[in-house]
Amino acid sequence: MKNFSKPIVVLTCLLFGNALYAETNSGEMVFSNSENTITHKSMSQNTSMEVDVSGLIIKVKVRQQFRNNSDEWMNGSYLFPLPETAAVNEYRLRVDEKLIESEVHEKSEARKIYQTAKANGQQAALIDSQRANLFSTEIANVAAGSVVETELVYYDQVHYEDGIFSLRLPTTLTPRFNGKQAETIVTDIVDADLINPPMTHLKREDRDNLTLQMNINAGLPVATIQSTTHDIEWLKHDQGYDVSLRQGTAHMDRDAVISWQLDSSSNPHIATFSESYADKQYVKLLVVPPESISSEPIPRTIIFVIDTSGSMSGISILQARQSLQNALKRLDTNQYFNVIEFNDSARMFYPEPLLATSQNLTRAIRAVDNLNADGGTNMYTALTQAFEQPAMQDTIKQIIFITDGSVGDEQGLFSLIKDRIDNDRLFTVGIGSAPNSHFMRKAAKHGRGTFTYVDNLNQVKNTMDKLFEKLERPVLQDIAISWPASTNAIAYPEQIPDLYHGQPLQVTAELGQAGGEATISGRIGKELWQKKVTLPVQDNSQGTHIIWAKASVDNYLEARIDGISDELIKPKVVAVGLLHQLVTPFTSMVAIDKTPVNSNPGNNVDTELENLMTSGNTMRINYPQTATIADQHILVALALMLMLFLRSLLRPIESHS
């Protein structure tokens, strides 16, 4: 054993060396030289968010600080999440005491400006959109010992449903599955490396922390403010309500969700917001329709699709199982159901939907108990199977899709949903500490359904009960809006989906002139419903034009699903992005210091910042991606250990021969 132990020690180092190398501390920039060995590190010192809520418009300032602790010039890059509805409107870079403002340019032009400045030794920053909810920043020519601060400003909309106002502030992301979805998908994920940054499970008290300062000016008295994800405190003052983290900071390993409710007598039935910009008037309407008088649930065939891939490991799979079981328990004997689980492949519980008898439900609930998270995220096959399931006699078919949405090929899946949805309805349920809400919301939109998010295990039953109350009784259907003819209105969404219990109608429009009256109509059960809304004349909501511009860009990008090429889409998106100063898939922001500071930028070391793995997620780092060099080293080391072990067994035989 004495001679055998030394090789084992060596091979153990080979086996675990790459894992130790990969697990750098949370929030660190890891710098490497040409030999790809670690030379020095730089930490993210602080991330702060200043959130201002005015009515239904949110303005968020995100500040992040980095220090170059090395003795060399550095270039840095990092990927960060934002809400999928966020519109990035401002960006600036502060190096030591110098403030550098940004400008919006067409994307290739912005990159050319940045690369030229980088090569000239100028301090510069570039911000790109990689997905609707993923943005990347590159920083060039950071001097040794310098502190770099970035400030990004975005606008978003408050979510309002069931009398509750809420917002979500992403702080990290779940790694995306970039494997091939199915033989029938032709979409290549050409930017896979841009949407999966380095990740780490390690947490440090002095790094990767979030500071939050929030002001809510709801315009009406607030009864309560709470968070299902963070411990917060709030205080009323003359200008509204201040909200902050009770402990001062929190780890950036989960989305922050803040919600508030008005006094019961103050809940709005109609709210209007307006802003003038570039000779146009921009309005946002919120209208709460009356409740349906129908009390009978509609007969349904319900197909449950549950994600059991590796990204769902830990708390996420517990939430998913509990969500599905709670949904199954609500079914009654005039409804049909089936369950499809998927990871690398998809598996149906039954060949076709079964009647929701007590015996069938008990079997299904027991089977759900045995579901575990492992493997890839092949949504395409699972969704295809769900669409192929029949709607049983005299029922409507609803598909309940429970997932964290951690896929890279969103576009191919959106095309599938739009092509196959027919008369079905698709409802997505977001699971985990940081789900891909862009995919979840868009999938539900194309499926003419809704998106629901499960914050934590304690909220599962309440959340699923509310969802099923909606699905049983649509409130308003066949919705249309008539705008004043003189305004030449361009409104989004262009096609308004059915509204369910507790959902308001929200529309944003560009008008040629202010004022006038809009008429909203629809059908409640078998009865026609109509409401007239007076459009505001005076400005009362900063950022309304930005919210409309983001909706306009999203609408143009939707044409990709219909096969419209980027050559036709790009000019329209660029025009909106430049006019309203937005970062889009075809426009970027670039900040350049005019004075060169680095005489030899070719020797700079490149860096990439890690993100914290989502809270409760136990998946191995880099799991969704293809095998790395580290994986190959592990396999080689295991093979060598086996060979040495076998040789040690044979040695006694050889000595007696």
Mean pLDDT score of the chain: 80
* Arch. (CATH architecture) of 2-260+587-612: Sandwich (2.60)
Q: Is 296 exposed, middle or buried (0-12, 13-18, 19+ CB in 10 A)?
A: exposed
Among candidate residues 510, 533, 530, the one with its CA nearest the CA of residue 522 = 530
- Vertex 529 angle, CA 296 and 551, to 5°: 100
Q: Over the stretch 223-276, which tens digit does the pLDDT of each residue have? A: 999 998 899 999 998 889 999 999 998 887 788 999 999 887 677 788 899 999
Show the DSSP H helices in 423-543 as ranges.
Answer: 437-446, 460-472
Least confident of 20-24, 52-56, 73-77, 363-367: 20-24
The residue with tokens 């900040």 is 591
Helix axes 629-655, 2-22, angle to 10 degrees: 170
Domain residue extents for the chain: 2-260+587-612, 269-292+476-580, 300-472
Q: Do domains 269-292+476-580 and 300-472 have the same CATH topology?
A: no
Cα 413 to Cα 395: distance, rounded to the nearest angstrom: 26
The predicted pLDDT at position 537 comes to 86
Identify the pLDDT of residue 399: 96
pLDDT of residue 408: 64
Query: Nearest CA to 79 among 116, 134, 40?
Result: 134
Domain 269-292+476-580 CATH (choose: 2.40.30, 3.40.720, 2.60.40, 3.30.1360)? 2.60.40
pLDDT at 63 over 70: yes
The tokens describing 292, both together, are 């349906």
Of 542 and 290, more confident: 542
What is the predicted pLDDT for the residue at 385? 96
Q: Is 573 exposed, middle or buried (0-12, 13-18, 19+ CB in 10 A)?
A: buried
Residue 488 pLDDT grade (very low, low, confident, very high; cuts 50, 70, 90): very high
> 464 CB contacts (<8 Å, ≥6 apart)?
323, 326, 327, 330, 429, 454
Residue 285, token pair as written in the block: 């309407």
Q: How much is the average pLDDT of 113-137?
A: 89
Assess contact for 86 and 155: CB atoms under 8 A. Answer: yes
CA distances, 593 to each of 88, 118, 257 (Å): 21, 10, 37
Q: Return the pLDDT at 157.
A: 94
- 144's tokens: 């040794």
Between residues 409 and 271, the one the model is more confident about: 271
Tell me what the mean pLDDT of segment 156-170 comes to. 91
For residue 474, the surrounding DSSP H or E stretch is strand 474-482
579-603: average pLDDT: 89
pLDDT at 406: 67
Averaged pLDDT for residues 489-516? 89
Amino acid 368: pLDDT: 95
Do the beta carbons of residue 63 and residue 84 sit within 8 Å? no
Is residue 113 within 8 A of residue 105, CB to CB? The reply is: yes
515: phi > 0 → left, psi -120 to 50 → alpha, else beta; which? left
Query: In whole angstroms, how large is the CA radius of gyration of the chain?
Result: 27
Specify the pLDDT at position 608: 55
For residue 445, which phi and psi values (nearest 5 degrees)? -65, -50
Return the structure tokens found at 22: 């990969």
pLDDT at 613: 46
**Does the structure show a pLDDT above 70 at 98?**
yes
Where helices occur in 260-391 by DSSP H, the ranges are: 315-329, 358-369, 379-388
For the ranges 116-120, 262-266, 404-408, 474-478, the one whose mean pLDDT is highest: 116-120
**Amino acid letter, 269:** H
Which overall architecture, per CATH, does domain 300-472 show? 3-Layer(aba) Sandwich (3.40)
Cα angle for residues 58, 171, 315 (degrees, 5° grid): 120
SS (H, E, C) 536-590: CCCCCCCCHHHHHHHHHHHHHHHHHHHCCCHHHHHHHHHHHHHHHCCCECCEEEE
Highest average pLDDT, of 16-30, 238-252, 456-470, comes from 238-252
Residue 515 has pLDDT above 90, yes or no: no
Q: What is the pLDDT of residue 67?
A: 77
The predicted pLDDT at position 642 comes to 64
Q: What is the pLDDT of residue 44?
A: 52
